[in-house]
Amino acid sequence: MKKHLALLTLACLAATAVNAEGLPEKVKTAGKVIVANQPNYPPMEYKDPATNTLTGVDIDLGLALAKQLGTTVEWADIGFEQMISSLTTGRVDLIHSGMSDLPKRRDTLDFVDYMKSGAQFYTSFARKDEFKTLTDFCGKTIGMSRRTSFPDETAKWSATNCEAAGKPAIVVVGTEGSADARAQLKQGRLDAAVQGSETLPYLLTLEKDTYAVVGEPFTAVYQGIAFAKKDTELRDAYASALQALMASGEYKTIFAKYGLEGTLLDGIYINGEAVK
């Protein structure tokens, strides 16, 4: 099945790489794509505090992809927990908002992957010397957004690396978002927190001597642009546009602007599978 998808997608990419005719009639008629995005995850998407305008990696990449396809973007500010239902019911055309390409989401969605990511432990700068290795977090209270895959991933990591070694389990605290986790960390209600590795370089720059990253990411996932299963035409048009941005160097330029060159992919991936 995966091989068939890859072959099909490769054919579609070849057909759409020359022009934007791969766009669905609905999008061509509207002259825009409606994109679900919640701007609360810097540097992926956020509002510039000085101008209140949308900015970030996903915003820049989303606009560049639309331009490549000869269309425009209408950003729809939708809560993360409502994004998938908004897509499957047709309220939006796609999701581009720091969403991980997870196997359980592929039952209803297809993903065009565009960057590498991972769950990352961090603590307060004042307590950095307490946590030299990841297993130092065993038995500690750690917060992370309940809307993400991080609570399940952290619990699984704890079972393998803490409980299995006879150490106390991590106490996983689901928060209202990454900002809430950081606030609780500052208040001393948490020992540490978890969020996407791609967000932490920006955070450390924004709030110097406030947080400290510990170790390497303990998961490895792709972030992807999500499409409804039925919208293969739009999915493949976006994959073609991303391929063009990679070839021109604009893809790398966008990520370099935010210091995220290390998250770049080496080619086109659909649902985690390389298209060759």
Q: Tell which of 193, 213, 233 closes a domain.
A: 213
Which residues are registered as beta bridge partners of 222? 116
pLDDT (0 to 100) of residue 20: 54
Tens of pLDDT, residue by residue over 24-79, are 999 999 999 999 999 988 899 999 989 999 999 999 999 999 999 999 999 999 99
Asked if residue 151 and residue 208 are part of one domain, the reply reads: yes
Number of domains in the chain: 2
Which residues are registered as beta bridge partners of 224? 113
* Mean per-residue pLDDT, 153-157: 97
CB of 78 within 8 A of CB of 37?
yes
Q: Own/partner pairs for 51-55, CB < 8 Å, 24+ apart?
A: none
Asked if residue 95 and residue 147 are part of one domain, the reply reads: no
Query: Which of 77-81, 161-165, 192-196 has the weakest average pLDDT?
Result: 77-81
Tens of pLDDT, residue by residue over 133-144, are 999 999 999 999
Asked if residue 230 and residue 132 are part of one domain, the reply reads: no
Q: Is the pLDDT of residue 6 over 50?
A: no
Asked if residue 185 and residue 226 are part of one domain, the reply reads: no
Q: Is the pLDDT of residue 3 over 70?
A: no
Asked if residue 89 and residue 7 are part of one domain, the reply reads: yes
Residue 34 to residue 25: CA distance in whole angstroms: 14
Asked if residue 246 and residue 149 are part of one domain, the reply reads: no
Asked if residue 22 and residue 94 are part of one domain, the reply reads: yes
**What residue numbers bound the domain in which 16 lies?**
2-116+222-274
Tens of pLDDT, residue by residue over 7-16, are 445 545 544 4
What residues contact residue 233 under an 8 Å CB cut-off, 6+ apart? 22, 23, 24
pLDDT (0 to 100) of residue 21: 59
This prediction's pTM:
0.82
Return the percentage of the chain with pLDDT > 70, whole number: 92
Residue 258: phi, psi to the nearest 5?
Answer: -110, 10
pLDDT (0 to 100) of residue 95: 98
Q: Tell which of 213, 241, 263 closes a domain.
A: 213
Asked if residue 16 and residue 140 are part of one domain, the reply reads: no
Tens of pLDDT, residue by residue over 85-105, are 999 999 999 999 999 999 999
Asked if residue 237 and residue 173 are part of one domain, the reply reads: no
Q: What is the CA 4 to chain-centroid distance, rounded?
A: 26
* CATH code of the domain in which 134 resides: 3.40.190.10
Asked if residue 172 and residue 77 are part of one domain, the reply reads: no
Considering the chain, what is the average pLDDT of its residues? 92
